[in-house]
Structure 1
């Protein structure tokens, strides 16, 4: 289904962290706005939830207890805040330039609101003693270039697909039938190439959240987030250790090869997302079709 194929593409695209010049930090595509433009906000949220669940369960990317917060910041915000802003700015019959400007503005807004959400959630949780004001002043600026890249990629993909299928340019969610098998195959091939090869180019620099925490605490990585460890945290951490068969998008044994582990992770993760989001898409289409 279209939901599954687009989900696989976004999963693999998220594996590519790009360096943010002059900062020592990196960022990656979120993809929520892109999915909302192509699928509509409701289906896009289902796909983003599938992506984040696969990442957390099988690759230990994001804690299981943080899954709800990640869905809110990377799913709800792009789909129900950034996407309506995009639609309003783009208008009913957007020119390519207006569509691109709307995508960039909406993506930046979505990234900044998502970053604000991380700060508020971290502060409210009490698991980290980070000064909220300082944390916010680091999180918002570092996510600005990430939002600009997100907007540029969204604009480029939507413009290409609008040329391939002009009916998409008129607005409204796409359908698998409208996409056509050729276009679905092209997106699937892009997901395979991205996860299997392009993911090798990912930056090793800390992402925006890790960079901000390190600046606040003076300690690299998650070690800077010191807080109370609950029984629930221990329980879900243990569960994640058992389910994550490719933690950190790599084999458990370093001897197996870093690049091979990355490629296998991209292909397996894309496949799992394709299956899960595709299953949801099939169920939604069956429900819409009604009995018989």
Structure 2
């Protein structure tokens, strides 16, 4: 669902940069109050759901690596990948999850040229704001109905599907508001929502399975479990090691088995557009941002900058060591960014209202 700059006009792109920046400021103020972030449990205002920074960083790396794997949607000629918003929110809470996912999307845009720079604000809004700060709160509020393991799993499934549907709708509305892509609204909407319903269903089932498993194995890791209802135990290092290993395997090996079919957004555009469609000429803003992205993207198309080789796009699995190296490097950058940003936020003074 990563939008390219060619779908957005500068005004719409700037508007969603502003909207995502506002959401980031709000989330930062929340975590600065000591909620959900850090290891210093003695700090005033620190709540029982605070997570170690290394755990947050490993989760960020894992979501980055998981997004490298596209799975085929049978019978459509399309593919999709998990977004991870509800997954992260289930473990970290909505605000920290949003910040982590926004960081993942920024790394993808600037280092991997995955999604445009102008479109980064819209991509953060669609894939981080809507799942983490809109869809997940429904999950979080309903959890207090005490519906048990399978009730929580069902709510995780619902939140994942709703979050992805809202994101797909956001893409359609942003594209239509920009007016530079000749995509009929009804046809584009009719392609985007069903294909992302299928993708959201897969992600929702995976997230629901995780929640159901953790409910029995380690409920303290679930953010939605009310504080004080479970025993406080030392944070399990084996989970950090295990998830870090899974991130490395996903980036280094599982990425070889990613589907080569177009993703849901690409498929929807191809399904909707007319053969005589004329692409709008890029504006100076588009050209400058594209030039910037070309300069800073160290791993374009998720490939490490090694000696150029001929790549067989039809071969599956696509065993490419440069993809593995790029994925591992990207996961490491994402981990360091999450841990570094978290360390800075943890050391900043809490907002005045939190100190009162």
User: Do they superpose with TM above 0.5?
Assistant: yes
Q: Could you tell me how far 1:126 is from its partner in structure 2?
A: 2.2
Q: Could you tell me how far 1:150 is from its partner in structure 2?
A: 1.1
From 251, 254, 261, the equivalent of 2:322 is 261
- More divergent stretch after superposition (71-80 vs 126-135): 126-135
Matches within 5 A, 1:93-132: 93-132=146-185
Q: Is 1:231 matched up with 2:284?
A: yes
Q: Which runs of 5+ in 1 are unaligned?
A: none
Supply the RMSD in Å over aligned alpha carbons: 2.5
**Conserved? CA contact 2:91–2:222, under 8 Å:** no
Counterpart-to-counterpart distance in 1, 2:278 and 2:214: 42
Equivalence for 1:65: 118
Counterpart-to-counterpart distance in 1, 2:329 and 2:212: 29
Equivalence for 1:214: 270
Q: Could you tell me how far 1:154 is from its partner in structure 2?
A: 1.1
Q: Is 1:278 matched up with 2:339?
A: yes
Change (3 A) 1:180 1:255: same
Q: Could you tell me how far 1:131 is from its partner in structure 2?
A: 1.0
Q: Could you tell me how far 1:90 is from its partner in structure 2?
A: 3.3
> Bigger radius of gyration, 1 or 2?
2
**Conserved? CA contact 1:165–1:179, under 8 Å:** no
- More divergent stretch after superposition (225-234 vs 15-24): 225-234
Q: Which runs of 5+ in 2 are unaligned?
A: 1-53, 228-232, 312-317
Counterpart-to-counterpart distance in 2, 1:52 and 1:224: 30
Q: State the number of aligned residues.
A: 286
Equivalence for 1:196: 252
Counterpart-to-counterpart distance in 2, 1:40 and 1:225: 44
**Conserved? CA contact 2:89–2:136, under 8 Å:** yes
TM-score by length of 1: 0.90
Q: Is 1:77 matched up with 2:133?
A: no
